Structure 1
Amino acid sequence: MTATVRIPAEILSRYRRFSRFNSPYPAHDAARAIDLYPSGGDGVSPVSGVVRETHTVGCPDRSYAASEDHLIVVELGEEWCRRTGTEPGTVARVLHVAPSVEPGDRVEVGDSLGPMTRSGFFGRWVDDHVHLGFRTPGTDARRASGSLPVDVDASVAAVSWNGTGTVVARGPSHVVLDAPTHPDPGERFAAIASDGGVPLDGGLAHYAGGGAFAAVDAGRAVSLWGTRVGVAGDRGIEWNPIDVTANGDRVTGLSLFAARDRDYGAKVVCPDHEFAVGDRVSVDVVPSDDPIRLGVG
Structure 2
Amino acid sequence: MTDGGGSEHQWGPAGAGAGDGTHRVTLGDDVLDQYRRFSLYNSPYPAHDAGCAIDLYPGDSDPDAGLATAAPSPVGGTVRETRTVRAPPKPYAPDHDHLLLVDVETPAPLRGLVARILHVAPAVEAGDRVAIGDDLGTLVRAGFFAPWVGTHLHVGFRTAKQNLHRASGSLPIDLGVAVRPLAWDGTGTVVATGETCAILDAPGHPSPGDEWVGIAADDGGVLDGGLPHYETGGVLHGTDESRPTNESPQGAEPAPEGEWSAQSVRLNGDAIGRADGRTIHWGDATVLVDGEPVTGLSLSCARDDGFGAKLICPDRAFAIGDRVRVSIAHQ
- TM beyond 0.5: yes
- Whether 1:205 aligns to 2:235 is no
* Residue aligning to 1:166: 189
Deviations 1:201-224 (A, max 9, x none): 111111121112214427332111
CA–CA separation in structure 1 for the residues paired with 2:219 and 2:248? 13
Deviations 1:150-184 (A, max 9, x none): 11201110101111111111111101111110121
Pick one of 180, 183, 205 that aligns with 1:157: 180
CA–CA separation in structure 1 for the residues paired with 2:316 and 2:274? 30
* Residue aligning to 1:90: 113
* Residue aligning to 2:324: 281
* Residue aligning to 1:43: 71
CA–CA separation in structure 2 for the residues paired with 1:61 and 1:145? 21
* Residue aligning to 1:217: 248
- Whether 1:228 aligns to 2:228 is no
CA–CA separation in structure 1 for the residues paired with 2:218 and 2:225? 16
Task: Tell me how far 1:246 sits from its aligned partner.
Answer: 1.3
CA–CA separation in structure 2 for the residues paired with 1:279 and 1:146? 43
Task: Tell me how far 1:118 sits from its aligned partner.
Answer: 0.8
**Identity among equivalent pairs (%):** 50
Pick one of 43, 61, 65 that aligns with 2:93: 65
SS of equivalent to 1:282: strand
Q: CA RMSD in A?
A: 1.5
- Whether 1:125 aligns to 2:148 is yes
Q: Which amino acid aligns with 2:160?
A: P
Structure 2: stretches of 5+ with no match in the other structure: 1-9, 12-22, 60-67, 238-244, 250-261
Pick one of 24, 37, 42 that aligns with 1:22: 42
Q: How does 1:255-274 map to 2 (within 5 A)?
A: 255-274=298-317
Deviations 1:232-265 (A, max 9, x none): 2134122232100112211111000000001111
TM-score norm. by structure 1 comes to 0.91
Pick one of 30, 34, 49 that aligns with 2:54: 34
Structure 1: stretches of 5+ with no match in the other structure: 289-297
The answer (yes or no) to whether the contact 1:66–1:117 under 8 Å persists in 2 is no
**Which structure 1 residue ranges, 4+ long, deviate > 4 Å from structure 2?**
none
Q: Which amino acid aligns with 2:274?
A: V
The answer (yes or no) to whether the contact 2:41–2:54 under 8 Å persists in 1 is yes
Task: Tell me how far 1:197 sits from its aligned partner.
Answer: 3.4
Task: Tell me how far 1:228 sits from its aligned partner.
Answer: 1.4
* Residue aligning to 2:254: none
Task: Tell me how far 1:230 sits from its aligned partner.
Answer: 1.7
SS of equivalent to 1:120: coil
Give the count of matched residue pairs.
283
SS of equivalent to 2:120: coil
CA–CA separation in structure 1 for the residues paired with 2:217 and 2:270? 10
Q: Which amino acid aligns with 2:41?
A: F
SS of equivalent to 2:79: strand
Task: Tell me how far 1:103 sits from its aligned partner.
Answer: 0.7
The answer (yes or no) to whether the contact 2:235–2:278 under 8 Å persists in 1 is no
Q: Which amino acid aligns with 2:88?
A: P
CA–CA separation in structure 1 for the residues paired with 2:144 and 2:91? 12
CA–CA separation in structure 2 for the residues paired with 1:152 and 1:106? 26
